[in-house]
A and B are shown apart, each in its own frame.
Chain A
Amino acid sequence: MAETLLWVLPLVPTVTALLMLTTRDRRILSGLDVAGSAVLLALTLVLARDLVAGGPQALGVFRVDDLGLVFLILVAVLTFAVSIYQVGWLRQAVALGNMKPESLRPYFALVHGFVATMVVTVLADNLGVLWIAMEGTTITSAVLVGYHGHHHGLEAAWKYIIVTTIGISFGLFGTVLVYAAAAAGHGSAGAGSRSWSAIMKVAPALDPGIVRIGFIFVVVGYGAKAGLAPMHLWLPDAHSQAPTPVSALLSGALIKCALLGIIRFQTIAAAAVGPAFPMQVLLVFGLISIVVATPFILTQHDLKRLLGYHSVEHVGIVALGLGFGGSVGTYGALLHVVNHGVTKALAFFAAGTAIARYGSRDMQVIRGLLAVAPIGATLLMLAALSLAGVPPFSIFVSELMVLRAGIGDGHWVAVAVFLAMVVIIFAGLLHHVGGMAFGKPTAAATREAEARSPLLGMTLLAAIIILLGLTIPGSFDRIFRGATEIIVG
Chain B
Amino acid sequence: MSAETVQTVIDNLGALLLFTMILIVAAGQIYRAIYAVAAQSFLIAVAGGVLATATGNVDLWVIAGITLTVKAIVLPWVLHWVVRRMNVRREIEPVIPDAATLALAVVVVVLSFHLSASLGPVRQAITGNALPVGISLTLSGVLVMATRKTALTQMVGLFASENGIFFTAMAVTQGMPLIIEIGVILDVILAALVMAIMVLRVRSTVDADIADLEELRG
Query: Residues of A at under 8 Å CB distance from B?
Result: 126, 128-129, 131-132, 135-136, 138-139, 142-143, 146, 149, 151-152, 154-159, 161-162, 165-166, 169-170, 172-173, 176-177, 179-184, 188, 190-191, 194, 207, 209-210, 213, 236-237, 240-241, 296, 299-302, 305
How far is A149 from B197 in the complex, measured between Cα atoms in Å?
A: 12
Which residues 167-218 in B have Cβ within 8 Å of A in the complex?
Answer: 168-169, 172-174, 176-177, 180, 183-184, 186-187, 190-191, 194-195, 198-199, 201-202, 205-206, 208, 210-211, 213-216, 218
The reply to whether B122 and A210 contact each other, CB–CB distance below 8 Å, is yes
The reply to whether B165 and A169 contact each other, CB–CB distance below 8 Å, is yes
Beyond A149-B205, A155-B210, A169-B162, 15 additional contacts (C-beta under 8 Å) are: A128-B183, A128-B184, A143-B194, A151-B206, A154-B210, A161-B198, A162-B145, A165-B191, A173-B165, A176-B168, A176-B172, A176-B176, A180-B168, A181-B125, A236-B216
The reply to whether B125 and A183 contact each other, CB–CB distance below 8 Å, is yes
Take A155-B216, A169-B161, A207-B121 as given contacts and tell me if A180 and B180 are in contact as well, using a CB distance cutoff of 8 Å: no
Take A132-B184, A139-B194, A158-B210 as given contacts and tell me if A183 and B173 are in contact as well, using a CB distance cutoff of 8 Å: yes
Distance of A280 from chain B, by nearest CB (Å): 19
The reply to whether B154 and A162 contact each other, CB–CB distance below 8 Å, is yes
How far is A332 from B120 in the complex, measured between Cα atoms in Å?
A: 38
The reply to whether B176 and A151 contact each other, CB–CB distance below 8 Å, is no
How far is A292 from B44 in the complex, measured between Cα atoms in Å?
A: 40
Stretch at the interface among B65-73, B101-109, B134-142: B134-142
The reply to whether A172 and B206 contact each other, CB–CB distance below 8 Å, is no
Take A139-B190, A161-B191, A209-B118 as given contacts and tell me if A128 and B176 are in contact as well, using a CB distance cutoff of 8 Å: yes
Question: Which residues of B lie under 8 Å from residue A152 when comparing CB positions?
Answer: 213, 215-216
Question: Which residues of B lie under 8 Å from residue A240 when comparing CB positions?
Answer: 216
The reply to whether A161 and B194 contact each other, CB–CB distance below 8 Å, is yes
How far is A166 from B205 in the complex, measured between Cα atoms in Å?
A: 26
Query: Residues of B at under 8 Å CB distance from A?
Result: 115, 118-122, 124-126, 131, 134-135, 138, 141-142, 145, 151, 154, 157-158, 161-162, 164-165, 168-169, 172-174, 176-177, 180, 183-184, 186-187, 190-191, 194-195, 198-199, 201-202, 205-206, 208, 210-211, 213-216, 218
How far is A305 from B217 in the complex, measured between Cα atoms in Å?
A: 10
How far is A352 from B211 in the complex, measured between Cα atoms in Å?
A: 28
The 10 residue pairs across chains A and B that have the minimum distance between CB atoms: A128-B180, A184-B125, A183-B174, A155-B213, A132-B183, A135-B187, A210-B122, A180-B172, A158-B210, A237-B216
Distance of A287 from chain B, by nearest CB (Å): 22
The reply to whether A132 and B180 contact each other, CB–CB distance below 8 Å, is yes
Closest to A157 in B: B198
Question: Which residues of A lie under 8 Å from residue B205 when comparing CB positions?
Answer: 149, 151, 154
The reply to whether A241 and B216 contact each other, CB–CB distance below 8 Å, is yes
Total CB contacts across the A-B interface at under 8 A:
152
A129, A188, A237: the one contacting B180 at CB < 8 Å is: A129
Could you name 30 residue pairs across A and B whose Cβ atoms are closer than 8 Å?
A: A128-B183, A132-B184, A132-B187, A139-B194, A149-B205, A151-B202, A151-B213, A154-B210, A154-B213, A155-B202, A162-B145, A162-B154, A162-B195, A166-B158, A169-B158, A169-B162, A170-B138, A172-B162, A173-B134, A173-B135, A173-B138, A173-B165, A176-B165, A179-B169, A179-B172, A183-B125, A184-B124, A190-B174, A194-B176, A210-B119
Question: Which residues of B lie under 8 Å from residue A213 when comparing CB positions?
Answer: 115, 119
How far is A182 from B208 in the complex, measured between Cα atoms in Å?
A: 47
The reply to whether A305 and B218 contact each other, CB–CB distance below 8 Å, is yes
B168, B174, B216: the one contacting A156 at CB < 8 Å is: B216
Question: Which residues of B lie under 8 Å from residue A143 when comparing CB positions?
Answer: 194
The reply to whether B168 and A173 contact each other, CB–CB distance below 8 Å, is yes
The reply to whether A129 and B174 contact each other, CB–CB distance below 8 Å, is no
Question: Which residues of A lie under 8 Å from residue B213 when comparing CB positions?
Answer: 151-152, 154-155, 158
Question: Which residues of B lie under 8 Å from residue A166 when comparing CB positions?
Answer: 141-142, 145, 157-158, 161
The reply to whether B211 and A158 contact each other, CB–CB distance below 8 Å, is yes
Take A166-B145, A176-B169 as given contacts and tell me if A128 and B177 are in contact as well, using a CB distance cutoff of 8 Å: yes
Closest to A302 in B: B218
The reply to whether B115 and A135 contact each other, CB–CB distance below 8 Å, is no
Closest to A241 in B: B216
Distance of A158 from chain B, by nearest CB (Å): 5
Distance of B197 from chain A, by nearest CB (Å): 9
The reply to whether A179 and B190 contact each other, CB–CB distance below 8 Å, is no
How far is A432 from B199 in the complex, measured between Cα atoms in Å?
A: 36
Question: Which residues of A lie under 8 Å from residue B174 when comparing CB positions?
Answer: 179-180, 182-183, 188, 190-191
Closest to B142 in A: A166
The reply to whether B176 and A179 contact each other, CB–CB distance below 8 Å, is yes
B131, B191, B218: the one contacting A138 at CB < 8 Å is: B191
Question: Which residues of B lie under 8 Å from residue A126 when comparing CB positions?
Answer: 180
